[in-house]
Structure 1
Amino acid sequence: MSSIGSELALFIQPLKNLLANLQGKADLGHVELIYSDQGVVVLLRHMKNLSDADVAAIKAFATDHQINFFSQGSTRQVVCLVGQEKLTYQLDEGQLSLSFAVTDFLQVNAKINQKMVTQALQWLQLEAQDVVLDLFCGLGNFTLPMAQKVARVVGVEGVQKMVDRARFNAQLNDIDNSEFYQADLSADNLKKQPWSPLDFNKILLDPARAGAQDCMAFIAAKKPTHIVYVSCDPLTLARDSQILLEKGYKLAKLGLIDMFPQTKHVESMALFLK
């Protein structure tokens, strides 16, 4: 187990004891543990408001263990009970600092995420004159490291909140050659998007389990020299890959990434060349 995993694991039993003794334990949903630059972060989801006594117990626990503790009730509003509300994580050995909220989508394994980003950038063989498209870009996990190596990069994401986060992260890291847009990437309307006319010569995509079937024809029509497809579902990766193969691309590299140890799930990365 990594040092980060070990540190998070240390809190499982103490957290279990804390939650078992709360007055509103029957109304608790689930707990998330995150490791950030600010230390251990806990998000407790609950279906009813916490009592004053439970809030006091949580604050005492978090203060004693020096952790950041957030709660989210039935209204979906997130409250920072103890610790720092502004959270970040590092990429490129600290060269990049990415801001995130506890409810944002993040890769679950920080060390593997860094290796995955590094490999994706290597496979794309990025050069200073490249114009790159990053589909399903989230908060800029791949986009911003790529921006440091190319002329221009465009990130596209379906969730406006994540687009806003990516733009903020670009400003946070003084990156001015990246642009971020919101678009429904599950709909066949990409040709109508304001960024679609650009001549992208390299493309990266990292969709959810549903894959990116509606994007593949658009991607192939752009005729990029390199396409890196990061996938958390081998079935949808295989389905979408077939479209690229039929459009004249070849599968040059394929790798598996153990992002989710001790589970049946794997992360895959595929490189397609024209």
Structure 2
Amino acid sequence: AYWREQIAQLQSRSVITQIEAIVGDNAMALVFRVLKPLPSADQNQLIASAKAVESGLPLQLWLKTDKDAPAQRIWPEDAEPLQHHSDELALTIQPDDFVQVNGAVNQAMVQQALDWLAPAGSEVIWDLFAGHGNFSMPLAKRSQQVFAVEGDERMVSSLSLQAEKLALPLQAIRADLDGSGGLQPLPDPDAVLLDPPRAGAAGIIKELTERRVPRILYVSCDAATLARDLSTLTEAGYRIRQAGIMDMFPQTHHVETMVLLENKVKRHG
């Protein structure tokens, strides 16, 4: 209600289409999606409104004018990067990144993924749809051959910088995750972690079954696409070893589901 009132006072209020709240461990970012740049007078008014808010976390204001370009922070100028923790690693996040809103449940989910996959130090691990490294950075603490795969070159650069900052042996790779053969250059994995968007991972499942990946950990936010992809995997010779549900959004029907599958057909060689 507060921000609705503040926006109603702006001269160019009609160009603001959406406000997103990104909650990090050290700050909260409000990302204003706009159809065109806001005039400086309106930006100053938003900054004044932010300064008047009493919040448990420091507040940041960002503008996003183009869906293909990164958001730009307008206040404060000297703010430290947004961070959230995964397996005791401080990960830098951008307002464009997807971040699980329930930090405690996310921590439990990452720990469960590590326990179920139980990666060995010499194993080759793929993290597909790696995002900002929520799973791949913790995996790289345990394995020397982790490949974090994303389709967006900017995200790949961010993953590389993150791994360098944390001194982790992670290789960030740009590849199409639509099943067009983008993963062929990578070495055969001992395990794959999948954390796709709601559309699921139908495009990439065929490549995984052709490579006869021994273990696949599928993290899903959509029951329908998960059921579809699990059907494909079980028809290809996989069996479900473990499955669990985490209530990421209490009081809603949205849950995160985690399924560990094993290939019953041994890989040749």
TM bracket (short chain): 0.7 to 0.9
CA distance, structure 2, for counterparts of residue 231 and residue 157 of structure 1? 17
RMSD: 2.1
CA distance, structure 2, for counterparts of residue 60 and residue 217 of structure 1? 53
- Richer in helix (by share): 1
Q: 1:224 aligns with which of 208, 213, 216?
A: 213
Q: 1:184 aligns with which of 167, 176, 191?
A: 176
Q: What aligned pairs does 1:63-212 form with structure 2 within 5 A after superposition?
A: 63-65=51-53, 66-73=58-65, 78-83=71-76, 84=79, 86-92=81-87, 95-175=88-168, 177-190=169-182, 193-195=184-186, 198-212=187-201
Q: Does 1:60 align with 2:48?
A: yes
Q: CA deviation at 1:130?
A: 1.9
Q: Secondary structure at the match of 1:181?
A: strand
- Residues 179, 207 of structure 2: 8 Å contact kept: no
CA distance, structure 2, for counterparts of residue 244 and residue 48 of structure 1? 45
Q: CA deviation at 1:120?
A: 1.0
After superposition, the C-alpha distances for 1:8-64 in whole angstroms (9 at most, x for unaligned) are: xxxxx3323322222222222111111224312111122243233322211122233
Q: Does 1:256 align with 2:245?
A: yes
Unpaired stretches in structure 2, ≥5 consecutive residues: 264-269
Unpaired stretches in structure 1, ≥5 consecutive residues: 1-12
Change over 3 Å in CA distance of 1:67–1:253 after alignment to 2: same
CA distance, structure 2, for counterparts of residue 234 and residue 242 of structure 1? 12
- Residues 63, 82 of structure 1: 8 Å contact kept: no
Q: CA deviation at 1:82?
A: 1.1
Give the share of equivalent positions with the same residue, in percent. Answer: 35
- Residues 190, 218 of structure 1: 8 Å contact kept: no
Q: CA deviation at 1:77?
A: 6.0
- Residues 181, 207 of structure 2: 8 Å contact kept: no
Report what 2:267 is aligned to.
none
When structure 1 is superposed on structure 2, of 216-225 and 140-149 the one drifting more is 216-225
Q: CA deviation at 1:109?
A: 2.5
Structure 2 length as normaliser, TM-score?
0.86
Structure 1 length as normaliser, TM-score?
0.85
- Residues 124, 228 of structure 1: 8 Å contact kept: yes
Q: CA deviation at 1:150?
A: 1.5
Change over 3 Å in CA distance of 1:79–1:218 after alignment to 2: closer
After superposition, the C-alpha distances for 1:104-160 in whole angstroms (9 at most, x for unaligned) are: 222232222221111111111222222211111112111110010123111111111
